[in-house]
Amino acid sequence: MDIFKLRKDKFADFLASLGGYKLFAPQKVGESIRFAPVTDAGKVELALANTTVPPKSIFFPQTETLYRYALGNTEMHPPAEGEAGVVLGVRPCDARAQVIVDNLFSWDVDDPYYLERRKKIAVVGLACNKPCVNCFCLSVGGDPASTEGLDLLMTELDDAYLLQPLTEKGEKLSQAVAAVAEAAETGDLDEAEKLHRQAREKINRKVETDGIPQKLPGLWDDALWQNTAASCLGCGICTFLCPTCHCFDIQDEVEGIDGRRCRMWDSCMFKEYTLHASGHNPRPTRRERTRNRINHKYNYFVQKFDVIACVGCGRCISFCPVNIDIVEILRQVKEAR
Amino acid sequence: MSAQFEPNIVAFLCNWCSYAGADLAGTSRTHYPPNLNVIRVMCSGRVNPLFVVNALQQGADGVLVSGCHPGDCHYMEGNFHARRRFTLLRELIEYVGVEPGRFNMSWVSASEGAKWKDVVGEVVVKAKEAGPFKQFRRDKINW
Amino acid sequence: MCNNANPYVPFTATIEDTWFETVGDRCVKTFKVILDDAAARANWSHQPGQCAMVGLLGVGESMFCISCSPTEGDFLRFSVMRMGKVTQALHELEAGDKITVRGPYGNSFPLEEWKGKHILTIGGGIGQAPLRPIVEYVQAKLDQYAGLTMIYGARTSGDLCFKNEFAEISKNDDLTCHLTIDLAEEGWDYNVGFVPSLLMDVNPSPENTIAITCGPPIMIRFVLENLKKLNFDDAQIYTTLENRMKCGFGKCGRCNVGSLYVCKDGPVFSYATLKDIPEAFA
Amino acid sequence: MVDVEKLKKIARETISRDDVRCLIGWRQGSYGFRAAPHFVGKPEEADQLIFSPLCSHNLATYLTLAEKLPVPRGQEPDTRKVALLVKGCDSRAVVQQLVEQGIRRENVLVIGCPCRGVVDQKKVEAKYPDMGAAVTADWGEKTVIFNLPSGRVEAPREEVLAGKCMTCRYPNPLLADIEAGDAVAVWGSDEYTDVREMEAGDPRQRWLFWEEKFSSCIRCYSCRNVCPMCYCEDCILDRLNPGWVWRSANTSENTAFQLARAFHLAGRCIECGECERVCPVDIPLMKLNRKLTKEVREKFAFEPGTDPESKPLQASYRPDDKADFIL
């Protein structure tokens, strides 16, 4: 697969050439940047280290109809098939996260809603040249220029983008690119390689994660969890903004006689997440929930799918209102006797 | 607003005064617009501000909360609390973008059948002026 | 497993018959349910211990153990205690009403492995619902098992479920049934006291025996202690766990007990697996 | 001005008292311009305490946040006090919680820290993007001093302080058992310009503004959980039966959520600005709450959390309350 060089001033034409697809890209929604359908190429924002809300919101929307029904009769109508799409400007860590979440949504029973979107929507990555202060992807098997989970990787040079197709979905996209871009020269490739290397050096957040899944069971009653959870507010930021968090709730909504059963993001940090109707709660305080969140990602998921369910994107660190820092927690787990 | 738009208004009437006043208006055959869906509550102080927001969500174009005149409340202070509560709620929902005519409050005692007719008339006119409520209405279209 | 392509879309089912097992505010109502679609009925196969998501369109869905043995017939039975939003709505239903069912979910009691063994069920209150399919299954295939002992207790005689079935059990001498209630009531001529102490009185021998216990966590804790006193081996003791569930097949993430999902790796667990999982009895 | 060494000494003495269970203050955060709540259980843990422009958290929320688990049989409930470091705005939260009997006076020991303004995380991170490890900060004359990895910089306070500090009329704690420093000058003034500017538009313009903000809400409930005044045991938003506000994240439910939250703070919001600070999608929540605090001040001449003897606004009334809009 040959690599293309797309001039920045041709970027809008490139987006136009993807007209056949439903295009998503990072844009300002309200006051923050997240992935949203592209209506105006000028609004696409690729400069930020990463979006606030991860691209999981494209494959696993915050609220999604499972099926509709009318009260009184029992037919249930799942939504129609989605259309082919492209999500552009995905950072390598988020793309890796989606591959990790694929494990769960195809474990033993296939989740039709999520997997259909994963099949139909191509992922165009954007390599990180300027990692943010809380990125620690190198510590969990990631890389600012990793191609895992990507169909096409873009690398930003000073006046152009280097486009490298990786899968046949990516190959199909690059045919659309061919019209507006030219073949890249070796000079560009070295430039891109240099940028990737510099990005790796810029990541100063590091933590030793091997051995952590084996150590966590022994720390079940360690004071670490109480000390960490003391300042936790029990809100949903760290889970809703986490690209590997996949938990959801199912609720019924009825308006007049039309109803729908829908699912929406849920957080293990909320009290109601495990609250039984009888009032009993197996995880009554924030200590158990904090312990469960870290164990799920660095122990339980590893036992089931042999991969750490964390890609080091740093969102849970940057957006936690009380600065609970997962790298600090992991360091304490590593150092605990 | 187009003439044929008929607003859908939800009215919370306190059982002791306004509901009785509305009943009196009915028994004395007074004519007034039929747009009201009345919900009887034991006191205007019982109406939770979330009821008003929820009514607007579910398709009401206007909401009326009507209770006893200050001092007549069967429970002594229900309407005083309601007055404070809905003074603030009205400011809040108008600040967010709900047109001023949509939310109304009134004191109608059990003997004021005529006043009830005027209140309903005014509320319906205001709701017609404001037009169909679309701001934060639940719309099952994009389910 | 759910047979149609979309595991979230349930089958519709009709309530053939329903009756109250107990009275009071947390009463238990049993539903005998037939799947509407003939193909679904034919493909449906569940084992004792498995559970299913029972739902009501417009209200919601909840997970209940299927409290009938496959040997009993082509229907499903659920015993539902009135507790939250869905159970209250279910309790208002009558025969002929429509509900939705999806499943069966979870693993089941390894009844094949237990062939030739003596089965000991220890239930408390609504905890008898997941045990009832074992009792029915063993009764139907008594020749393959070395008899059954049933210990079952509740707060009051009114709280005992499936009362109409005890008389028939005690008729057969291979099946012994011990009932108890917490406090003495006039007109009650069986044991009085808590289930764990009745277990010690019955004093079952651990020889070639499998013990299965379900009930309120406090009862399970003492029953497990007593079973250890009667030197039952960990692998001989089974229980079912209960957690809030939304999907039923390992996606929504909430029913985990430590690293085990109650809906996938359970609800049936042997004590050997559970004893080194601290969150199991939280 | 608060001398941090004196503050640490006070903290060490306080935590050594046998009627104090723990002391809550701030410590340096794990990166950039962050501070973090710090729970002191033993005197030596007090050494990490700081008090600087980074200490934006309102710690009063922890007085009501801890879960109240049933006391195991045979154990006595722990009635020792919780000591709390409070800035001026935080102290109003403690006062209002006392007025509403959310907490009891004997359970809390307040250490007042006169405050000269805390930074707005987004303004500072935009102004100094190349922050790395932890950055310390301090107050200058009318400025804030940062010790960046690239050296010491000083910025005029208007450019870096949080919006709430520019309009702050209560920098000195209104309630304190121990004073950790002497009072500071009040320099903020509040004309509610942000609210008046919003009121000036017509309803359609206002709705366009709020629709865009509310539709971007992801319902993480951090604005509710951080708020010292949001301490209901069983929040109406989490109830399913009846489910007044649905859990789906769309404009209608998000608006109902924000209106319910804002209204439940009418006459109770002490303008500590935490909801706006923690919102991950930067919804201007103070612009919403301050509308009600302005109305409450103008219509009922009431300021929550300023007078420990006052009665909660919505739990009391005056027969002559003015309400000209009532038909």
Q: Note the pLDDT of residue B1.
A: 46
- Nearest CB among A69, A109, A275 relative to C7 is that of A109
Q: Do B84 and D313 touch (CB under 8 A)?
A: yes
- Against chain C, the chains showing at least 3 CB pairs within 8 Å are A, D
Token reading at D315: 């739990």
- Nearest CB among A53, A272, A285 relative to D69 is that of A285
- Asked whether C141 and C48 are in contact (CB, 8 A), the reply is no
Q: Note the pLDDT of residue A120.
A: 95
User: Residue C96: CB partners within 8 Å, gap ≥ 6?
Assistant: C14, C15
Composition of chain D by helix, strand, coil, percent to 5: 35, 15, 50
- Helix B78-96 × helix D203-215 angle, to 10°: 90
- Asked whether A310 and A142 are in contact (CB, 8 A), the reply is no
On chain A, the residues whose CB falls within 8 A of the CB of D39 are 227, 230-231
Rounded Cα distance, B62 and B11, in Å:
8
D62 to chain C, closest Cα gap in Å: 25
Would you list the domain boundaries of chain C?
Answer: 11-105, 118-240
A265 to chain D, closest Cα gap in Å: 9
- Against chain D, the chains showing at least 3 CB pairs within 8 Å are A, B, C
D220 to chain A, closest Cα gap in Å: 4
pLDDT (tens digit per residue) in C11-38: 999 999 999 999 888 899 999 999 999 9
Q: Using a CB–CB cutoff of 8 Å, tell me whether C176 touches chain A.
A: no
Q: What is the distance of C-alpha D175 from the center of its chain?
A: 15
Q: What is the mean pLDDT of residues D80-86?
A: 96
Q: Using a CB–CB cutoff of 8 Å, tell me whether D149 touches chain A.
A: no
The CA-CA-CA angle for residues C50, C55, C59, to 5°, reads 150
User: Residue D172: CB partners within 8 Å, gap ≥ 6?
Assistant: D88, D112, D114, D183, D184, D186
Token reading at D175: 């309630």
Residues of C near D (CB-CB distance < 8 A)? Answer: 60, 84-85, 88
Q: Note the pLDDT of residue C4.
A: 57
**Among chain D residues, CA nearest to A264:** D248
On chain D, the residues whose CB falls within 8 A of the CB of C84 are 240-241
Q: Given a cut of 90, is residue D24 above it in pLDDT?
A: yes
List the single range of A154-163, B26-35, C168-177 with lowest mean pLDDT. C168-177
Token reading at C182: 């917490």
Rounded Cα distance, A150 and A128, in Å:
14
On chain C, the residues whose CB falls within 8 A of the CB of D241 are 84-85, 88
Block residue for tokens 């040079």: A157
- Asked whether D279 and D246 are in contact (CB, 8 A), the reply is no
pLDDT (tens digit per residue) in A282-324: 999 999 999 999 999 999 999 999 999 999 999 999 999 999 9
pLDDT top residue among D61 and B1: D61
Percent of residues, chain D, with pLDDT higher than 70: 100
Burial class (CB in 10 A: 0-12, 13-18, 19+), D125: middle
Q: How many CB pairs under 8 A join A and B?
A: 9
User: Residue D74: CB partners within 8 Å, gap ≥ 6?
Assistant: none
Q: Note the pLDDT of residue C166.
A: 86
User: Could you tell me the pTM of the whole model?
Assistant: 0.95
Q: Using a CB–CB cutoff of 8 Å, tell me whether A203 touches chain D.
A: no
Helices (H), chain C: 38-43, 85-91, 128-140, 163-171, 195-202, 217-229, 271-274
Across chain D, what does the average pLDDT equal?
Answer: 94
- Asked whether B80 and D317 are in contact (CB, 8 A), the reply is yes
Nearest Cα neighbor of C152 from C174, C173, C182 is C182
D300 to chain B, closest Cα gap in Å: 9
* CATH class of the structural domain C118-240: alpha beta
**Among chain C residues, CA nearest to A301:** C259
Q: Note the pLDDT of residue C1.
A: 42
A252 to chain C, closest Cα gap in Å: 6
pLDDT (tens digit per residue) in C44-84: 999 999 999 999 999 999 999 999 999 998 999 999 999 99
On chain A, the residues whose CB falls within 8 A of the CB of B58 are 255
Q: Note the pLDDT of residue C3.
A: 44
Q: What is the mean pLDDT of residues A96-100?
A: 97
On chain D, the residues whose CB falls within 8 A of the CB of B92 are 259, 262-263, 266, 291-292
Rounded Cα distance, A266 and A287, in Å:
18
Percent of residues, chain C, with pLDDT higher than 70: 99
pLDDT (tens digit per residue) in C85-110: 999 999 999 999 999 999 999 999 99
DSSP assignment of A47-92 equals: -SSS-SS-THHHHS-SEEEEEEEETTS---BPPPPPPPEEEEEE-H
Across chain C, what does the average pLDDT equal?
Answer: 93
Q: Given a cut of 80, is residue B76 above it in pLDDT?
A: yes
- Against chain A, the chains showing at least 3 CB pairs within 8 Å are B, C, D
Would you list the domain boundaries of chain B?
Answer: 9-134
Would you list the domain boundaries of chain D?
Answer: 4-67+78-179, 193-315
pLDDT (tens digit per residue) in D254-275: 999 999 999 999 999 999 999 9
On chain B, the residues whose CB falls within 8 A of the CB of D304 are none
Three-state SS for C31-86 is EEEEECCHHHHHHCCCCCCCEEEEEECCCEEEEEECCCCHHHCCCEEEEEECCCHH
Q: Given a cut of 80, is residue C263 above it in pLDDT?
A: yes
**Among chain A residues, CA nearest to B54:** A255
Long-range residue pairs from C256-262, CB within 8 A, at least 24 positions apart, any chain: C256/A292, C256/A296, C256/A300, C257/A282, C257/C282, C258/A295, C258/A300, C259/A295, C259/A299, C259/A300, C259/A303, C259/A304, C262/C106
The CATH topology of domain B9-134 is Rossmann fold (3.40.50)
- Distances, alpha carbon C115 to alpha carbons A100, A312, C133, in Å: 41, 51, 15
- Nearest CB among A32, A253, A324 relative to D282 is that of A32
On chain B, the residues whose CB falls within 8 A of the CB of D263 are 49-50, 88-89, 92
Q: What is the mean pLDDT of residues D129-151?
A: 91
- Nearest CB among D32, D212, D278 relative to A321 is that of D278
Helix (H, G, I), strand (E, B) or coil at B4: coil
Q: What is the distance of C-alpha C247 from the center of its chain?
A: 20
Q: Do B81 and D214 touch (CB under 8 A)?
A: no
Q: Note the pLDDT of residue C2.
A: 45
User: Residue C222: CB partners within 8 Å, gap ≥ 6?
Assistant: C194, C196
Across chain A, what does the average pLDDT equal?
Answer: 94
Confidence bin at A249 (pLDDT 50/70/90): very high
Q: How many CB pairs under 8 A join A and D?
A: 127
Q: Given a cut of 90, is residue D188 above it in pLDDT?
A: no
Q: Note the pLDDT of residue B139.
A: 85
Q: Do D206 and B97 touch (CB under 8 A)?
A: yes
Q: What is the mean pLDDT of residues D47-72?
A: 93
D119 to chain A, closest Cα gap in Å: 14
Q: Given a cut of 80, is residue B2 above it in pLDDT?
A: no
Q: Which amino acid is at A20?
A: G
Q: Do A78 and C6 touch (CB under 8 A)?
A: yes
Q: How many CB pairs under 8 A join A and C?
A: 117
Asked if B touches C (at least 3 Cβ pairs < 8 angstroms), the answer reads no
**Among chain D residues, CA nearest to A315:** D280
- Asked whether C95 and C103 are in contact (CB, 8 A), the reply is no
Q: Note the pLDDT of residue D320.
A: 87
User: Residue D270: CB partners within 8 Å, gap ≥ 6?
Assistant: D89, D92, D93, D96, D228, D229, D304, D305
- Pick one of 2.40.30.10, 3.40.50.1100, 3.40.50.150, 2.160.10.10 as the CATH number of C11-105: 2.40.30.10
Q: Note the pLDDT of residue B141.
A: 65
Helix (H, G, I), strand (E, B) or coil at C131: helix
Q: Given a cut of 70, is residue A252 above it in pLDDT?
A: yes
Q: Do D222 and A286 touch (CB under 8 A)?
A: no
Q: Do A260 and B143 touch (CB under 8 A)?
A: yes
Q: Note the pLDDT of residue A186.
A: 86
Pairing label, strands C118-124, C148-154: parallel
Block residue for tokens 């305490």: D49
